[in-house]
Structure 1
Amino acid sequence: MYSEKVMDHFRNPRNVGEIEEANGIGEVGNAKCGDIMKIYLDIENNIIKDAKFMTFGCGSAIASSSMATELIIGKTVEDAWELTNKAVAEALDGLPPVKMHCSVLAEEAIHKAINDYRINQGLEPWETKEYHDIHDHVHGH
């Protein structure tokens, strides 16, 4: 059912915790499945120096958060913004269809954290796509 990578990131998640000096924080929750994900970013000179997460949820949500933080550390804010839930799922060698929304949450949390950072810097937040549709479609399939 789950790939080795999903199990590995679930059992040994990377970057768990909070960043006290975080300058970008994004929290998202999906009431339907009870997953809550909070991502902390430490951004310096437009580079994500560090990313940590606190996730309450299923194994896929934890694995998605873990992999997503791995993928964005060291990247520019623009590159991190472009990280899609599909890229997170692919990096985990796939997620079961009913769990794809967990990777969507990770993408969403990163977008919120980046916009939190942008607002803190006095910049306009970037436009996010509508996520609500995705959650509904996922559960509809």
Structure 2
Amino acid sequence: MLNRRAFLAASTLLVASGITARAQDRSEANALAYESIDQLRAIAAQGPAIVYFHAEWCPTCRATMVSFRGRWPEVQPGITLIIADYDTETDLKTRYGVTYQNTYVQVGVNGEKLQIWNGGGIDALNSKPIFD
């Protein structure tokens, strides 16, 4: 079972590890822990909001988090990655049709699912998001 403290520590480490990517016309890329659907809507109003369904017990998810820490400066500016606990955010999984961990969902300003994909890490974050 996922240790909530471990998950939050991983999320904090990701954010604290110098997660920045800059461009003149977009704000920095950012990573946050999931709080609420209202949070997702507010973030989506500012730019691409991508929910990442992470499970601490998942080897692929752990490797993805390591990759995020090492390669975050490569992420397109303007993207916000919201890390959701796969094991505890059951309502959120149901809302977006997520059936397994290491899944990404881009959320629109009304909280709707714009697109969903599994895996791909940094490369997918740079190629999948819809910028309005």
TM-score, with normalisation over the residues of structure 1? 0.27
Structure showing greater radius of gyration is 1
Greater fraction helix? 1
Q: Which has the higher contact order (CA 8 A, sep 6+)?
A: 2
TM-score, with normalisation over the residues of structure 2? 0.29
